[in-house]
Structure 1
Amino acid sequence: MADANTNSRAALVAELNGLLADHFALFVKTKNFHWHVRGPRFRDLHLLFDEQALEVRDQIDIIAERVRKLDAETLTSLGTLAKATQIADQDSAKLSAEDMIAELLADNQKLVARLKAMKPLAEQAGDNATDGLIDDWTDMAEQRVWFLRALLG
């Protein structure tokens, strides 16, 4: 039984590190869009992207500390982050506001899917604390999805 628990915990830690990488990548992308958005909705989108970026950023340390509380190691460099994330880079500073919204919507939907897939891992590992945090993080990501989807009509 100890092997099953060890395997469950290792799988959970791997996904937490993936979630950590996703949050870093999503933070950078959302800030990129915050800095470069243009058009008639500039002010509203500039403020929304900043609000969402800060919410994502504020989760980074909590995720990393959860990994450490599980007596495991977090990601250690930009290289390890890049390998672990599901969020694609976006280097353009010239996207339309609509394209920015659509891309952030898709990225946040990926985050929701990853979080929902993590629930059984936390349960299998018997990790009630992570299980509860996943609920909170899912709610925050679903709210970002809702706001972004509403912008697209």
Structure 2
Amino acid sequence: MPGDNARKALIDSLNGLLADYFTLYLKTKNYHWHVAGRQFRDLHLLFDEQAAELFALTDIIAERVRKNGGETLTGIAAIAARSSIADDDRASVDAMEMVRNLRDDNARLVERIREAKAAAGEAGDNATEGMADDWTDQAQQRVWFLTQTLA
């Protein structure tokens, strides 16, 4: 049976992942609101679709923290302190720079999901471990779409 340290490591990993999801959600929405240029319509819609997908998982991840007996993030400062994804609060960013940033951030998210999956395995949380596969697939699809947009 997994120990208390494994459970704490899982909670910590999930909270870091949650912070990344919130940060990437807000960054994606910022880009959705401020994208301009020849590909405006396509990127505006793509960013909105991806933001919705990111936001939908925040509650699921937070509930995994709670189901594992932990406390989750409580506000913006907690998110900022835990996120490994850099914020971008600029209103004027080149559209292709937006795409590159989001591609790279989603690739980073894949790494963080894999870390959470490993922590779930150590803690014996097969539910989180299984969900992480779906989260990875979604993030990899976002990376793929963004990569193809740059081609």
Instruction: Tell me if TM exceeds 0.5.
Output: yes
Residue 117 of structure 1: how far off its partner (Å) = 2.0
1:55 alignment partner in structure 2: 53
2:67 counterpart of 1:98 = no
Q: What amino acid is the match of 2:14? A: L
Residue 87 of structure 1: how far off its partner (Å) = 1.0
Segments of 4+ in structure 1 off by > 4 A?
none
Distance of 1:151 and 1:129 partners within structure 2: 34
8 Å contact kept, 2:13–2:115: no
Aligned match for 1:141, one of 130, 139, 142: 139
Distance of 2:115 and 2:25 partners within structure 1: 21
SS at match of 2:77: helix
Aligned length: 151
2:75 alignment partner in structure 1: 77
Distance of 1:113 and 1:57 partners within structure 2: 18
Structure 1, gaps ≥5 residues long:
none
Identity %: 56
Alignment map for 1:20-39 (pairs within 5 Å): 20-39=18-37
With normalisation by structure 2, the TM-score equals: 0.97
With normalisation by structure 1, the TM-score equals: 0.96
Residue 29 of structure 1: how far off its partner (Å) = 0.4
1:120 alignment partner in structure 2: 118
Distance of 2:49 and 2:35 partners within structure 1: 14
Residue 120 of structure 1: how far off its partner (Å) = 1.9
Q: What amino acid is the match of 1:118? A: A
Residue 121 of structure 1: how far off its partner (Å) = 1.1
Residue 119 of structure 1: how far off its partner (Å) = 2.1
Structure 2, gaps ≥5 residues long:
none
Residue 122 of structure 1: how far off its partner (Å) = 0.9
SS at match of 1:88: coil
SS at match of 1:39: coil
Distance of 1:121 and 1:25 partners within structure 2: 22
CA RMSD of aligned residues (A): 1.0
Q: What amino acid is the match of 2:43? A: L
